Structure 1
Amino acid sequence: MKKTIVTHSGKFHADDVFSVATLMHLYPDAQLIRTRDAALIAQADIVVDVGQEYDAQAGRFDHHQRGGAGARDNGIPYSSFGLVWRYYGLAVCQGNPLLADKLDANLVAVIDAIDCGYGMSGNEQGVSLSHTIGLLNPTWQEADNFDDCFGQAVQFATTILMRFIANATAQLDAYQEVVVAIEQAEEASIVVLDKYIPWKQAVHEHGQQVLYVVYPSPAQQWMIQAVPVAPDSFDNKQSLPLAWAGLSGAELQQATGVNDAGFCHNNRFIAGAASFAGAMKMAKLACQN
């Protein structure tokens, strides 16, 4: 039977927009009603961000009632999006709890925090995703067509949600591939990837002895990159040799003895060679430095 989803009418925010986007992804043939009519709310299968009730089993996902609707262990309160994701997120992520948790941390909790004013001083600047959703409301100078604008906002939010899922999936898949590459490395200090994928987090957590990562680049050369001391650090465990800094072409080939060496960055965190053999030779030389 086709489900009926109700959210409030009038001005919308990121929490109700993303809640509906999540639900419509799961129930694409559902009927959406925007109202504050208590009778229509009572008859709905799922109610979001209105109704003064939180009962996931009954399909009620509001957080405006006295006392709110609870908070995460880190203190961030749940808005309607967080409540919907808490109940339906695993299904959206096809049963993958790591993916659902990653989306919660990187998208859902951020929207919840902004909607609930958690940790905000009132002096925040810049454009957030929540602010962007808010911009889709009609201004006082435009026609009062909130429902049409809400539909556009849900389409936008659906695109963003799907891109968050795609990117988070890619990160989790890359993590596993890098762990396998670390386990299969011929030398503990050098990890070889057959394509570029995000590698820093996995190497940081599973490759304590890894100093360099070798991978192909779209520029048809092989790269040697130094492993940072932390995924977001600019300091390397062991930088490439000082004698290579800023060299390229013939000068670098003479300094390394590698006949297809291409360049070495002046900050000694990355270098390149035309062939895999050349890149590996440079990586081994760097390890000995």
Structure 2
Amino acid sequence: MIFGSIINNDTKLSSVGLVYKHYGLELIVKELQLDQKHPDAHQLFLAVYKNFIEAVDAIDNGINQYDTDQPPRYVNNTSLAHRIGRLNLDWIEPDQASSKEDEAFHRAMELAGSEFLECVRFHAKSWLPARSIVMECLAQRHVVDSSGEIMKLSKQCPWKLHIFALEEEMTIDPPIKYVLYQAVSVSPDRFESRKALPFSWRGLEKEKLSEESSIPGCVFVHMSGFIGANRTYEGALAMARASLIA
């Protein structure tokens, strides 16, 4: 397997990434009882690297998560690295014997191993089926609206995990602006919508919103314009279409 050509080369592989490069696929197929040639195995191999292993590689190699000199807005000590770090012997512990260090190391191994397997299982049982649903919905987007910028979610699932990657893979242009039921953000880690619902609708509810939008059955639009609701599918679609040209 040519690892470097299929995984982001911007993040140098640490010892963890190198181990995963050679044994990750084997571990995944063993845990899920798949054949290595199964297409899901390759997809899961990439997803687990991107969503679990790469962060460990980056931290080990001193790579900042963001290209900025500004200090973070808040402290986050909940990462895997921090959780493992807290298992180390505290300097105030009276017993600093090597056997105690070995015990801490084995606790760290159990923690990292269990979280790795949880990641594998999540991507196999939840992430992958959701990806298939979003892919099918994207393929049907022109049936929903001729613009191709409105997607109807056929089944409730975590679509945000997939829409950005699939837009790139499926070369979708123009990009999706609305998923029935909400506006699409500009990127997976941002709150700002690509095209928020009209300003004049925001914060309104029911009759006032229906009157302002000239669309019956409106329920509400969030103050930020990232989400709105209507009592019917037809009404929700009308809200999305009107927002698209607003």
Q: Against the structure 1 CA distance between its residues 196 and 251, is the aligned structure 2 distance closer, same or farther, given a 3 Å change threshold? A: farther
Match of 2:201 in 1: 244
Q: Is the 8 A contact 2:80 2:112 kept in 1?
A: no
Q: Against the structure 1 CA distance between its residues 268 and 87, is the aligned structure 2 distance closer, same or farther, given a 3 Å change threshold? A: same
Measure, in 1, the Cα distance between the counterparts of 2:58 and 2:237: 47
Measure, in 2, the Cα distance between the counterparts of 1:77 and 1:202: 22
Q: Against the structure 1 CA distance between its residues 77 and 191, is the aligned structure 2 distance closer, same or farther, given a 3 Å change threshold? A: closer
Q: Is the 8 A contact 1:191 1:212 kept in 2?
A: yes
Match of 1:192 in 2: 152
Match of 1:208 in 2: 173
Unaligned runs of 5+ in 2: 1-7, 30-35, 65-70
Instruction: State TM-score, norm by structure 1.
Output: 0.59
Question: CA offsets per residue over residues 58-112 of structure 1, 9 Å max, x none?
Answer: xxxxxxxxxxxxxx94362432x22321221001222312322332233323323
Measure, in 2, the Cα distance between the counterparts of 1:196 and 1:105: 20
Instruction: State TM-score, norm by structure 2.
Output: 0.68
Give the one of 91, 105, 121 matched to 2:26: 91
Q: Is the 8 A contact 2:11 2:57 kept in 1?
A: no
Match of 2:136 in 1: 180
Task: Give the secondary structure class of the aligned counterpart of 1:240.
Answer: coil
| Richer in helix (by share) | 2
When the two chains are superposed, the root-mean-square deviation of aligned CA atoms in Å is 3.1
| Richer in strand (by share) | 1
**Aligned residue-pair number:** 205
Measure, in 2, the Cα distance between the counterparts of 1:279 and 1:181: 17
Q: Is the 8 A contact 2:183 2:197 kept in 1?
A: yes
Deviation at 1:119, TM superposition (A): 4.0
Deviation at 1:232, TM superposition (A): 4.1
**Percent sequence identity over aligned pairs:** 27
Q: Which has the larger radius of gyration?
A: 1
Q: Is the 8 A contact 1:82 1:112 kept in 2?
A: yes
Q: Against the structure 1 CA distance between its residues 203 and 211, is the aligned structure 2 distance closer, same or farther, given a 3 Å change threshold? A: farther
Unaligned runs of 5+ in 1: 1-71, 215-222
Match of 1:133 in 2: 84
Matches within 5 A, 1:108-127: 108-115=53-60, 117-119=61-63, 127=77
Deviation at 1:212, TM superposition (A): 1.4
